A and B are shown apart, each in its own frame.
Chain A
Amino acid sequence: FTLNAWKSADSIEQGTKSFKALHKAAKKARQSLAQKLVKVTQERHQTFLSVTVCVLPSQAKHSEHHEGRHYSIPLEEVKAVFPHGLPSRFQQQIKTFNEACLMVRKPALELFTYLKSSNFAHPAVRYVIYGEKGTGKTMTLCHVVHYCARQGWLVLHIPDAHLWVKNCKELMKSSYKEERLDQPLQASVWLKNFKASNERFLKEIKTQKTYVWGKQESTEEGRPLGEVVEQGLARTRNASDAVGVVLKELKQQCQRGSFRLLVAVDGVNALWGRTTLKREDKSPVSPGELTLVYNLRKLMMNNWNGGAIVTTLSQTGSLFKPRSAYLPQELLGKVSHGLPPPSFTMGNRNPGWGTASGHGGRVCFSLSSHNIL
């Protein structure tokens, strides 16, 4: 698939909306065939795939001339760093080819320079990666997560914020605050994956307050954070509150500087959109009334320092948004009013926009069709 083929497929799709349903299945089948697979099925004789993997130096030395090439992550690291982060189609590719190869993309390289040169005494900068469908936003985020994990940061990775605002089978009233609603299943799944990826930090970081979970259960001050996570996993009733405690503790203790915190959220437009959840009296629930979303929104503010926040906008899992929406104004709505223009633009989109300061504000990266595969 060349770049032109992708572009023309996109324009045809936008033009002939009536054929959308007919060709949806065909397009899905075509898209699922990665470039490597297409190469091999096209050749009739028996040749095995040749991936454009080059032996790249360690990630810290990825620079501009590495753009467009793939680097492979050893499979043990994949299990440790990404218990829940990678998209399902990429996981299928890993299973088939027995290797995890990520492409080095330009926005990722730009993010690395910013992260390296950021001053951690200043408030955390919020980076937003946006772009059209299938341009590599989630993969860029995974690249950044892997980079920070290698550097020794504590990574708080929420793989898909959209999963927290839809299809919740068990909604319970929160025991902590009356108006809020708990989601035990989603919270316990996230806690399990968080524990798998950040074992050593959970032993080192200690709680700064006593938390009472019930009549007989409580976590004293000075206990390792791993105990809070265990409590959340053991009692699913308290799972959402355990997540809230973890987020609060990490935000407070990051400012001391003993560790760096990376908050990586995929599909951040879910936190400020609408939900499909309803209470028992069929009244709709807004995202702010969910404990998980409420606590995560507190982390999204830039009133803490010692780390960075990298987020992705995604239309794919979003609710009540049209398929063609990808710009921050379209997906985030009112929240994006304070956003500066993109720090750099790719291709022929908006030529006349200048650079934005990364200090205390929000920086946008746009991914256009130049960045696919």
Chain B
Amino acid sequence: RPPSPLVRCRLTQVRWSRYNPSFIEPEVNKELYQKPWEELSEEEKKKLELKAVQPIKAAPPSLSSSVFSDPMVSKFTNMMMKGGNKVLARSLMSQTLEAIKRKQLEKYHKAPEDEKETIECNPYVIFHQALKNCQPIIGLSSITKGGKTYQVPVPLKDNRKRFLAMKWLITECRENKNRRMLMPEKLSLELLQAFNNEGPIIKKKHMLHKMAEANRAYAHFRWW
């Protein structure tokens, strides 16, 4: 939706945060702390000196500095979660990644020698690439002018693109599946199709692009 022209909003994480503005976000990157003092750039040195004095916010439970944690995967798991059942959502996610790995390994073992290198077996790489392929570049926004609402093509922010890709993936898997097929199986199928730039979600993205192209004439209605 277009931002209302009267409100000047500051970009904060949470609207009703009770923290004093002087509190800093926690730093999760382990490599930064393992670097010796000489190798740090000027800004990093200043930041570290500030940290000694300024208070730091508490880290949320989903934030982790482990090598296995992936912010995209966490976000996707949160979007899949229903009723606060994070345990179930997380297990579904791990089963999906396992299913992707198994399918790719079977393909790998059956492929001839020269094609073996082209087969991607890492489920995280497949997940990231599939989501990237599903992200639309341009979206539509409804703008009311002279009593009529027009669908105006509008560039999308990164967060909105990521959100749309994940939302389409999840709704597709929830609605268009066989009654007996389980979520991990269906999700792995859709992710592999998206990785190869085919499937219903890529089609949906192309439809959105075509609509935006068709409504090109209204592009000048946008004022931001």
Contacts and interface: CB of A to CB of B under 8 A. Distances in A.
B91 A28 contact: yes
Nearest to B95: A29
Contacts of A37: 98, 101
A295 B93 CA distance: 47
B90 interface: yes
Contacts, number: 52
B105 to A, nearest CB: 5
Nearest to A49: B105
B124 A96 contact: no
Contact of A41 (B95, B108, B110, B124): B124
Interface string A42-63: 1011101100000000000000
A22 B87 contact: yes
A73 interface: no
Contacts of A97: 105, 109
Q: Taking chain B's interface residues, is the majority helix, strand, or loop, or is none over half, making it mixed? A: helix
A29 B67 contact: no
Residues of A in contact with B, size category: 20 to 34
A102 to B, nearest CB: 19
A26 B87 contact: yes
Nearest to B94: A29
A44 B94 CA distance: 15
Contacts of A45: 122
B121 A40 contact: yes
Interface of A: 22-23, 25-26, 28-30, 32-33, 37, 40-42, 44-46, 48-49, 92, 95-98
B106 A46 contact: no
Interface in B87-140: 87-88, 90-91, 94-95, 97-98, 101-102, 105-106, 108-110, 120-125
A46 B68 contact: no
A95 B106 CA distance: 7
B88 A25 contact: yes
A29 B121 contact: no
B98 A33 contact: yes
| Residue in B67, B91, B95, B124 with the greatest tally of chain A CB atoms within 10 Å | B91
Contact of B106 (A26, A30, A49, A96): A96
Contact of B91 (A26, A40, A46, A49): A26
